[in-house]
Structure 1
């Protein structure tokens, strides 16, 4: 039984923690909805206020009517007395008494309506002021939350081992390493080709004076020598002629 109670307590604690985490995660939304509910309640109070004000105006008109009736019947009772109609005057006086009782009730009701109107107006005014203050607070809360999100985003992008900029730097470093590896591979391939490939064989043939390149080189050198000898021969002949004339 003790273990079962502890399990039940644990479950209750878990439910409470989950509930609190949900509330914390949606605190701004809940706050905003509470403000909307308060505004709805104020709107309903305004509707109730208009009803009470209407009853207050109706009672005021009824008071005026009853006062007029009392005045009229009092005049009729006075007229009956002047005509020595005692019984009729007493009957009219009874009617005046009824009207005055009704007038007293309407006066009390009117006073009650007036108090209710004043109280509702004061409550609505105070509630609207608080709602405006809460609306300012919710705007500030949203702004602050946006700043926190932006700050956290910047921090995640700049600081920390898992930041986006650090990941970008690592990606760039991997690209550079890949490029260096590719360049090294190309250089190694060229070097290997020069050492053991077709280029190596061509180089050995050229060094031994064998092949098209060797023949081309020899022919070019022979052509150059021939041109050099041709340039020297006229100059030598001119020198020999001058010696003979002397």
Structure 2
């Protein structure tokens, strides 16, 4: 029995750990959704506030109307007394009493609505300020997460010996080495040609004054001098 309990406990712990990992992996997304839900709640609260404010305005109009009616009927009662209409004055006084009772109820309603309006406004303002704070926090969190990802990417691509950038750099080094080797081979071939090939032999013959090109400069100068010394009429 105890083994089964331990297995159940293990499964519960694994499920909790899995759930926490899922939440942590999607923390930013969950946070943003909670902010969206909070904004929706504020919109609903604003609608409720507008309804309460409308009721307050209705009560205020009712109070004004009842105050006017009460003043008018009190004037009528006074006028009835002045005309010795005692019974009529009593009847009008009853009307005034009924209006006064309704007026008290409307004043209480107006006061209650006004208090609700004030409280709802404060709650909405506080909630909106809190949401702005959460939006700043989520913006910072997302920026920080982006920086961490970029840093991790740089670390993976540059710092690791097996990274893509490291491999590309190694390939570039190999290409540079091949180019240097090719240039060295070309230079060596040119040097060998000068030392051992036809160029080497031509150079040696020219240096020894042998061959058709050995005394070319002297012959060219003699030809130019001969043309210079020839009389102009012989052209």
Q: TM-score, normalised by structure 1?
A: 0.68
Equivalent position SS for 1:126: helix
Partner of 1:57: 57
Partner of 1:87: 87
Give the whole-Å Cα distance in 1 for the aligned partners of 2:149 and 2:22: 18
Partner of 2:69: 69
CA RMSD after TM alignment: 2.1
Partner of 2:12: 12
More divergent stretch after superposition (78-87 vs 16-25)? 78-87
Partner of 2:147: 147
C-alpha deviation, 1:160, in angstroms:
2.6
Partner of 2:2: 2
Equivalent position SS for 2:84: coil
Give the whole-Å Cα distance in 2 for the aligned partners of 1:162 and 1:84: 114
Partner of 1:38: 38
Give the whole-Å Cα distance in 1 for the aligned partners of 2:26 and 2:123: 30
Partner of 1:210: none
Moved over 3 A (4+): 166-176
Give the whole-Å Cα distance in 1 for the aligned partners of 2:115 and 2:37: 26
Equivalent position SS for 2:160: coil
C-alpha deviation, 1:7, in angstroms:
1.1
C-alpha deviation, 1:175, in angstroms:
8.5
Equivalences for 1:1-246 in 2 at 5 Å? 1-168=1-168
What are the superposed Cα offsets for residues 221-240 of structure 1, whole Å, 9 maximum, x if unpaired? xxxxxxxxxxxxxxxxxxxx
C-alpha deviation, 1:86, in angstroms:
1.3
Aligned length: 179
Partner of 2:185: none
What are the superposed Cα offsets for residues 169-198 of structure 1, whole Å, 9 maximum, x if unpaired? 56668999xx9xxxxxxxxxxxxxxxxxxx
What are the superposed Cα offsets for residues 115-171 of structure 1, whole Å, 9 maximum, x if unpaired? 111111111111111111211111111111111110000000011344223343566
C-alpha deviation, 1:4, in angstroms:
1.2
Give the whole-Å Cα distance in 1 for the aligned partners of 2:174 and 2:3: 57
Q: Which runs of 5 or more residues in structure 2 are unaligned? A: 179-235
Equivalent position SS for 1:84: coil
Give the whole-Å Cα distance in 1 for the aligned partners of 2:173 and 2:78: 116
Give the whole-Å Cα distance in 1 for the aligned partners of 2:92 and 2:16: 75
